[in-house]
Amino acid sequence: MDQIRISGGRPLKGKIPVSGAKNAALTLLPAALLTDEPLTLRNLPRLADVDTFGHLLNVLGASTQTQGSRPEDFGRVMTISASRMTSTTAPYDIVRKMRASILVLGPLLAREGVATVSQPGGCAIGNRPIDLHLKGLEALGAEIELTSGYVRAKAPKGGLTGGHIIFPVVSVGATENVLMAAVLAKGQTVMENAAREPEIVDLANCLVAMGARISGIGTERLVIDGVDRLHGATYAVMPDRIEAGSYACAAAITGGEVVLLGADRALLGSTLPVLEAAGVSFEDVKGGLKVSRANGLHGVTATTAPWPGLATDMQAQLMALVTVADGASVLTETIFENRYMHVPELARMGADITVTGRSAVVRGVPKLHGAPVMATDLRASMSLVIAGLAAEGETIVRRVYHLDRGYERLEEKLQAVGADIERVDGD
Ligand SMILES: CC(=O)N[C@H]1[C@@H](OP(=O)(O)OP(=O)(O)OC[C@H]2O[C@@H](n3ccc(=O)[nH]c3=O)[C@H](O)[C@@H]2O)O[C@H](CO)[C@@H](O)[C@@H]1O
Ligand SMILES: C=C(OP(=O)(O)O)C(=O)O
């Protein structure tokens, strides 16, 4: 199995192109099921999860064609044509590999009137329920049964109808699923306390380009006037704000200076001031954002929250950064109950971290040392890469398949800015 070997201590210098956002791509792909005309997605990142989603769309009867994807290019263009669906079932074998598969539920229900989707279980970062997805779809008239590990959903005769949904907590996935169902429902749907993440804005903009009628995009109150049909469109996936934030941490921890091509400070929300407080400097430059270490690294107190708060998907990378900061940090995770799988691994590299309940106290140490490490989720794995880039000596990161889910050609991008990093065969 592949491993990543890093010899730490080299300041990163140069340019890193930011890829299309994984978490936007994984909600734009199921949107293709809402129309019988082709949807062309540009700037799709080359990631294992995108391939898995393509496979799921094929299983449902949609064709997927990728164009212009020379191996040396970042990103690719995919045209998805769901002119005729041959199945309405998302099987366990695919859903277990990729939680985002649940996002075919709303589109299948809206388009075909039925959907059977394997229930995603918990995962390494927490419990991850889907009750709000189901309640939201029920508010549009769907009948839902949970049997044998599957969600079986049926629209009433005549199709889904608009409804009024007040989410008790902000849910990115539930907002996406219900939004995709509501665009083809009869009448008006109002979603209150909807998620406002940039990836939801990206989905809504793509749906509008396909003929949907949505107002309140980017706010917590989305109003959707259902239309009879959507048409095809061409849409470019937004840049990956989490990838950009991850490389910002990598540049700062190594004392380097990197231009993140295509990065946009507006997409970082209040993750940006938290990184600034930790000592990352951001400067707008032509074509992107220049990141470097300002005046040393400093401990921070920060809590993850829905947009525009500190992104939960940046918590592990921020933690890696502050392991070598002056002073202590207190990081609190509010979205997932178990998103600290990186803590024992960072500790093996010399970090001083104590977790109590939902908070982690990180006392900065002068330096980290390389070690063999392993993580059980995507961002935890990235935090180990960031730590490895700064550590003295060699770090081996195992279970690279987590990184391949969310970072397009990670080692190539880091090699290009001077990191001593390579993918090697391992046991
Ligand atoms: C608000 C938030 O930051 N969401 C993150 C979440 O999205 P993802 O869509 O996976 O999760 P949600 O946004 O739905 O979850 C937010 C919170 O709502 C709870 N919940 C969710 C759905 C549900 O049906 N019932 C329920 O109780 C969850 O347990 C969680 O505490 O993980 C993604 C991958 O790391 C991140 O990119 C998203 O930024
Ligand atoms: C946990 C993540 O993704 P997923 O929900 O696809 O597992 C992530 O993007 O950090």
| 236, 268, 297 - which closes a domain | 236
Residue 115 has pLDDT above 70, yes or no: yes
Same domain, 34 and 147: yes
In the Cβ-directed half-sphere of 33, how many Cα atoms lie within 13 Å? 35
Q: Ligand 1: which residue has its CA nearest to atom 38? A: 172
- Flag whether pLDDT at 193 surpasses 70: yes
Count of beta carbons in the 10 Å neighbourhood of residue 1: 9
Q: CA-CA distance, 422 to 159, in Å (whole number)?
A: 52
CA of 95 to the centre of ligand 2 (A): 13
> Binding residue per annotation — 127?
no
- Tens digits of per-residue pLDDT, 121-132? 778 888 899 999
Number of domain units in the chain? 2
pTM of the predicted model over 0.80: yes
Phi, psi (rounded to 5 degrees) for 324: -115, 20
**Greatest Cα-to-Cα distance within the chain, rounded to the nearest angstrom:** 66
pLDDT in tens, 296-340: 999 999 999 999 999 999 999 999 999 999 999 999 999 998 899
What's residue 338's pLDDT?
84
Q: Tokens for 111?
A: 């388009």
User: In the predicted model, what is the mean pLDDT of residues 247-270?
Assistant: 97
Q: Do 46 and 163 share a domain, yes or no?
A: yes
Q: pLDDT tens digits for 19-56?
A: 999 999 999 999 999 999 999 999 999 999 999 999 99
Give per-residue pLDDT as tens, 351-370.
999 999 999 999 999 999 99
Tokens at 358, concatenated: 């939902």
177 in a labelled binding site: no
Residues 39 and 159 in one domain: yes
Distances (CA, A) of 387 to 93, 289, 348, 380: 33, 22, 11, 11
- Domain co-membership, 182 together with 312: no
The pLDDT of residue 67 is 82
Specify whether 124 is located in the same domain as 188.
yes
Q: What is the mean pLDDT of residues 172-188?
A: 98
pLDDT number for residue 73: 72
Q: Same domain for 45 and 126?
A: yes
236, 268, 288 — which closes off a domain? 236
Distance 424 CA to ligand 1 centre (A): 34
Contact 85, 33 (CB under 8 A): yes
Predicted local distance difference test score (pLDDT) of residue 132: 98
Closest to 264 in 3D by CA, of 288, 282, 237: 288
Q: Is 123 a catalytic residue?
A: yes
pLDDT of residue 124: 85
For residue 218, what pLDDT is reported?
Answer: 98
Atom 35 (ligand 1) nearest CA: 313
The per-residue pLDDT for 75 is 84
CA of 314, nearest ligand number = 2
Q: Please report the atom of ligand 2 found closest to the CA of residue 26.
A: 6
**Lining residues, ligand 1, CB within 6 Å:** 23, 127-133, 169-174, 195, 197, 306, 311-313, 335
Answer yes or no: is 222 a known binding residue.
no
Query: For residue 375, which ligand has an atom nearest its CA?
Result: 2
pLDDT digits (tens, 9 = 90+) for 80-106: 999 999 999 999 999 999 999 999 999
The answer to whether 313 is annotated as binding is yes
Are residue 380 and residue 417 in the same domain, yes or no? yes
What are the beta bridge partners of residue 374? 398
How far away, in angstroms, is 303 Cα from ligand 2 center? 18
Q: Whose CA is nearest to atom 27 of ligand 1?
A: 129
The rounded distance, in Å, linking the Cα atoms of 327 and 171 is 34
- CA-based angle 182:184:189, to the nearest 5? 30
Residue 70 has pLDDT above 90, yes or no: no
Query: Residue 147: CA atoms inside 13 Å, Cβ hemisphere, count?
Result: 7
pLDDT, position 376: 86
Binning pLDDT at 50, 70 and 90, where does residue 68 land?
Answer: low
Do 103 and 199 reside in the same domain of the chain? Answer: yes
Distance 165 CA to ligand 2 centre (A): 25
Same domain, 141 and 114: yes
Domain end residue (candidates: 204, 236, 268): 236
Q: In this predicted structure, what is the pLDDT of residue 87?
A: 98
Same domain, 263 and 331: yes
pLDDT band for position 249 (cuts 50, 70, 90): very high
Question: Does residue 215 sit in the same domain as residue 125?
Answer: yes
Q: Report pLDDT for 74.
A: 77
Query: Which structural domain range is residue 387 located in?
Result: 2-15+240-425
Kindly report the CATH number assigned to the domain that includes residue 127.
3.65.10.10
Nearest CA to ligand 1 atom 7: 172
Query: Same domain, yes or no, for 325 and 178?
Result: no
Active-site hit among 48, 85, 114, 123: 123
Which residues' Cβ are closer than 6 Å to ligand 2?
22-23, 99-100, 125, 313, 378-379, 406
Could you tell me which of 100, 60, 104 has the C-alpha nearest to residue 83? Answer: 60
Question: How much of the chain exceeds pLDDT 70, in percent?
Answer: 99
Torsion of CA 63, 186, 201, 170, to 10 degrees: -110
Across all residues in the chain, what is the average pLDDT? 96
Sequence-distant (6+) residues with CB within 8 A of 171 are 132, 133, 195
Measured distance CA(74)–CA(364) in Å, rounded? 36
- Residue 146 in marked binding region: no
Which residue's CA is the nearest one to ligand 2's atom 8?
313
The owner of tokens 């990065």 is 263
Q: What is the pLDDT of residue 71?
A: 66
